[in-house]
Structures are given as structure tokens and as C-alpha cells.
Structure 1
Amino acid sequence: MSDREDFLIWLQSEFVRAERAMFDGDDGPRRALWSVEEPVSVLGAWRNASNRAELVEAFEELSTSFSNCTDYAFDLIAFDVLGEAAYTVGYERAAASIDGEPRTFTLRATQVYRREPGGWRVVHRHADRIG
């Protein structure tokens, strides 16, 4: 199996499960996929973070807003694996409640990943709402 195939399997399984859990109010799986090594950063649709402590705080706060995720899909537009690094560009489409109000929304998301002991870890995310 190639590095690209291995990365896609991880992305379509662990990553998608973690993001769906986040939109269902559980930030634990998402935090587990993020690197504990600096630097890490988020330029988010709802919140920014520039280090691991801010990242954990942001994910914990965001997860309290989300619940009842009924649908989540990651539409991958482009990706590549370059040695110990990878990136993805795509659309995250979700149906979940935000502060108790059912919503559907799409996020345009670009992420950077680093291969670490134990597997791929997210090190940077930029996302914004488009609908």
C-alpha cells in the first residue's frame, strides 16, 4: 500500500469519525488526532488557536455548542503526501444542532498533517463557513 493510500484510509476512517463526534458534542476524538507537539494552529470558522493549550480550550468550548449530528461528510478536493507531511483541501458538510438549533452548514477546510509515532496527526486547520 502506498503512503497516499494509507493516508486516505486514515482520513476516511479515523478523521471522519473524529469530526462527526465533534459535531455531536464530543471533542475527545478530535483532540486525539491533533499533534501534542508544537507548533499547532487553527484559523477556524468559529475560533482560532495558536498553540496546544489554546487548541484544547477552543475544542472544549466548541463542543459544548454542538449536538445531535445527523450527517457529516468530508468532500475531498485535493490532497498529497510529501514524506512525513500531508495536506487536504475539501468541504465539510454537516447537519447538527448549534446551541440547540438544528442547522446544516458547509465548511471550506484546509488542513496540514504530520506523520508522528502512532500515525498521522493534524497540525494546522483553516476553515470558514460558506453556507
Structure 2
Amino acid sequence: MTQVDAFLEELRPRWQHAYQALCNGDVEPWAAIWSTRDPVSLFGAAGSASGHEEVRRVQSWVAGRFAGLVDEKQELVAAGASGDLAYTVAFEHKTVYAEGGGEPVTYTLRTTHVFRREDGEWRIVHRHGDFPPSREDFPVTSGPDTV
């Protein structure tokens, strides 16, 4: 088993549980997979933060915006691990009920996570999540195969 495979095998069950809890409005499992040792940072789709305490405040705010998970899928694009550092790059597809009720909302985030192994357990030290740009918003009109 490669180091990347071992990292993903250890991470997936904890991640799945924590992410589903967050989308159901429970921040505790999500916060538990984050490091409490600075530096910790977040570039979020709804806000950014630096430092454990500030990141935790934003996490709590985000959890409060969710009222229930309908469906979610993690589409892993890339992952790596070396020593006590690892990363993932993924698309997060989800359908959730937002605060205030109404119809469920479906959206996708593209995310990058950086992990640090602390006391034998992988912890998130950075998350960057944003909405993929639409083709209409993209300023480049040609791709590498048209150059």
C-alpha cells in the first residue's frame, strides 16, 4: 500500500462522518478533524479565517447555515502524502436544506485541503473552497490545444 493509499484509507471514514455532520448543522465532528495547532487557515466560499479560534468561529457559522443533508459526493481529483504532510483536491457535490427551510439547494465546490499528521492522526490545517467559475465568467477564450 502506498503512502497516499494509507492516508486516504485512514481519512475517508472520519471525513465522511464529519462532512455529513457539518451539512446537517453539527460542527463538532468537522471541527474535530481540524488541527488546533496554528498555523491553521481557511479560504472559504463564504469567508476566510486564519488561526484556530477564528477558523472555528467560521466553521460554526457555516454549520448554522445548513438545515439538513440530502445528498453529497466527493469527487477526488488528486491526492498526495509525504511524511507528515498530505493534500487532497476535490469537487464537493451536495444537495442541502439551507437555514430557513424551502427547497433543497444543489451546488458544487472545488476544494483543496492540506493535512498535517499530529499525534498519529491526520488533521486539516488549510481548506480552500470556492465555486467553480462558469465558462461565461472565464476571461480566456481559447484552450491550450487551440494555441
TM-score interval, normalised by the smaller of the two chains: over 0.9
Q: Stretches of 4+ moved more than 3 A in 1?
A: none
**3-state SS, counterpart of residue 93 of structure 1:** strand
Q: Map of 1:42-57 to 2, 5 A cutoff?
A: 42-57=42-57
For the pair shown, the structure with the greater C-alpha radius of gyration is: 2
**CA offsets, 1:17-47, max 9 Å, x none?**
2111111101111100000100000000012
Deviation at 1:3, TM superposition (A): 2.3
Which residue of 2 is the match for residue 81 of structure 1? 81
The answer for unaligned runs of 5 or more in structure 1 is none
2:63 maps to 1:63? yes
**AA at the equivalent of 1:117:** D
Aligned to 1:107, what secondary structure does the other structure show? strand
The CA RMSD measured in Å over matched residues stands at: 1.4
Alignment of 1:1-131 (within 5 A): 1-99=1-99, 100-101=101-102, 102-130=104-132
Greater strand proportion: 1
Unpaired runs of 5+ residues, structure 2, are 135-147
> Which secondary structure does the structure 2 equivalent of 1:39 belong to?
coil
Counterpart of 2:140? none
Any idea what the Cα deviations from partners look like across 1:79-109, whole Å, max 9, x if unmatched?
1001110011010011111222410110000
Structure 2 length as normaliser, TM-score?
Answer: 0.84
Instruction: Give 2:115's aligned amino acid.
Output: Y
Separation in 2 of the partners of 1:6 and 1:116? 15
Q: Size of the alignment, in residue pairs?
A: 131
Give yes or no for contact 1:16–1:73 (8 Å, CA) kept in 2.
no
Please report the TM-score for the alignment, with normalisation by the length of structure 1.
Answer: 0.94
